[in-house]
């Protein structure tokens, strides 16, 4: 699946993108973390916490990659 392209031209555009991206990450990853915490399953908490962190990192790298010009060969 190809990621959606968003043009960020202002601080407000970035804030709106960040809010929507955070909502999507929490919806996708947060439930699993909440269930692991409810069950007090330390291994699952670590795994789902790592997955949440990885999703956040990926989102930040997507933005960074969009800010830097592509290397041309």
**Max Cα distance, the chain (Å):** 52
The CB density around residue 14, as the number of other CB atoms within 10 Å, is 13
Phi and psi based region of residue 22 (left: phi greater than 0; alpha: psi -120 to 50; beta: remaining): alpha
Which pLDDT score is estimated for 35? 93
The CB density around residue 47, as the number of other CB atoms within 10 Å, is 14
How much is the pTM? 0.68
The string of pLDDT tens digits covering residues 14-50 is 888 888 989 999 988 888 999 999 999 999 999 999 9
Q: Which sign, positive or negative, has the C-alpha torsion 52, 54, 55, 61?
A: positive
The string of pLDDT tens digits covering residues 55-73 is 999 888 888 877 766 555 4
pLDDT of 1 strictly over 80: no
């Amino acid at each position: 699946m190809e990621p959606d392209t968003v043009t960020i031209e202002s601080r407000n555009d970035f804030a709106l993108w960040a809010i929507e991206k955070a909502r999507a990450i929490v919806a996708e990853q947060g439930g699993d973390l909440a269930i692991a915490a409810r069950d007090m399953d330390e291994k699952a908490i670590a795994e789902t916490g790592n997955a949440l962190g990885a999703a956040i990192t990926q989102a930040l790298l997507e933005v960074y990659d969009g800010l830097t010009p592509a290397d041309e060969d």
